[in-house]
Chains A and B, each alone.
Chain A
């Protein structure tokens, strides 16, 4: 009986497992940047333009995805629990008070990887499967 329960438990764990453990999206920086890991709040600070430097002094250059890209909505939902309309409202305040411009927006996560690889301070978000040797994963967004 106990063994049977244990087996059922294992089966349940296996069925839940991938959903829990696998990151949907990851935040990546340029592989030569020197930053190894970031906390959620540090990622928020960079993507919302509050802090524009990594801890090592390198200028952070965040890059975003096009408004309609489904990964954009997913990223902000997972990072701060916000809808894209709220993110756009935030940037309209920053832009029209003359404080700062929103990060550039690219059409695909493939372009994000290229952009981050090309800029020493580049930081963006992509699917885990896209993160290759040109970039380093510094934060994982979990559902």
Chain B
């Protein structure tokens, strides 16, 4: 079967999407029996965004290779997803989702976002295995379903650092009644998928083991969640080729060792509070990232979002902040190693706050229009969240204007 797999992967983007779906439909039609049910559902976003600077490129998160500048672009936020659900019987279900969005390799190549089987031995216990979405932070696994949230995109200062989307693994979640509320716990383990772009190179994070879980309590309109996850990186950052191409520098061995990511473990902690009652909704999220490598800085981030629905319009305002720790200058013996290490470390620094405001307008059934302004006010040393940064000109400040049309079907 490897031959077939390779041929399959070389197919063009849309061809591949059509193939995945038609084969899915065909399989389902062939296997469908009385009593089971099969459905196809989809979601999408047509988005346009521009900023007020050409000094850096603005991305949705670090999984995108290029971003928006002072010219309007549809790449950053546009997405289309299709999902097939097959309920085999009350206990067994199979789900596959294909997603097309701008990604690490500068294309919209559709990929199988998730594909798993779910087994529910009892109504409140769910076991899944296959390719699964990860919930490092609350709401992280629905980041591309624009229709499901209020803002144009999840607040960047909070989600930029989270380019992980899925694992090959398993998860288990259990819900238990507690008074009139519900306590839910979930654990997951698996190997990560994907690549993270770094200049013109890609950091391969495939097969890096991930482990995590959360505990949450929901009562009426209140939801409180604490979560933890970690990942142990299998590969080093592609620093040598990036430095060779961009700076014409050979990465010294001492610097490479100092900046290694291979076999280092990064820990993610987060707390989320959602209050959603009547026309009012509020979200408060905080996270702390403890990096195991010196090449990436530890950081703290958080955001507060407030929205109030008036008829079909929901205006919202928010504030977000991210600050990473400044490391001491490396002392590696030779000056070149020190300079190279310092340069790379500087690139992972973030220190900025964002005020954002906008509105969601539910124009028709299953269709929403959104407009949003983000005022990013940061330090000129805040480089990590961006692409193609021009360090000599970047002053840390920009405004971002976004429009989107979000729909589900």
Contacts and interface: CB of A to CB of B under 8 A. Distances in A.
Interface string A40-54: 111011000011110
A92 to B, nearest CB: 5
Interface in A60-90: 60, 67-68, 80-86, 88-90
Interface string B54-95: 000000000000000000000000000101010100000001
Interface residues of A, number: 33
A92 B43 contact: yes
Contacts of B142: 93, 96-97
A88 B312 contact: no
B362 A92 contact: no
A10 interface: no
Interface in A79-134: 80-86, 88-90, 92-93, 95-99, 101
Interface stretch (B174-182, B295-303, B347-355): B174-182
Contacts of B197: none
B221 A88 contact: no
A60 B278 CA distance: 25
A1 B63 CA distance: 79
B180 A41 contact: yes
A52 B141 CA distance: 22
Nearest to B181: A41
Contacts of A95: 41, 83, 85
B277 A80 contact: yes
Given A83-B309, A83-B362, A88-B408, A97 B141 contact: yes
Nearest to B408: A92
Nearest to A82: B278
A98 B132 contact: yes
B278 A96 contact: no
A44 B220 CA distance: 7
Contact of A81 (B126, B218, B278): B278
B278 A89 contact: no
A95 B220 CA distance: 21
B220 A41 contact: yes
B114 interface: yes
A96 B148 contact: yes
Contact of A53 (B123, B141, B365, B368): B123
Nearest to A101: B85
B292 interface: no
B148 A51 contact: no
A55 interface: yes
Nearest to B311: A83
A37 to B, nearest CB: 13
Given A51-B175, A89-B148, 9 more contacts: A39-B180, A50-B175, A53-B122, A53-B177, A88-B408, A96-B97, A97-B141, A97-B142, A98-B83
Interface of A: 39-42, 44-45, 50-53, 55, 59-60, 67-68, 80-86, 88-90, 92-93, 95-99, 101
Interface of B: 39, 41, 43, 81, 83, 85, 87, 95, 97, 114, 116, 118, 122-124, 126, 128, 132-133, 139, 141-142, 145, 147-149, 175, 177, 180-182, 184, 218-221, 277-279, 309, 312, 362, 365-366, 368, 408
18 contacts: A41-B180, A45-B180, A45-B182, A50-B182, A50-B184, A51-B177, A51-B182, A53-B122, A59-B123, A60-B123, A84-B365, A85-B368, A86-B309, A93-B139, A93-B149, A96-B83, A97-B142, A101-B39
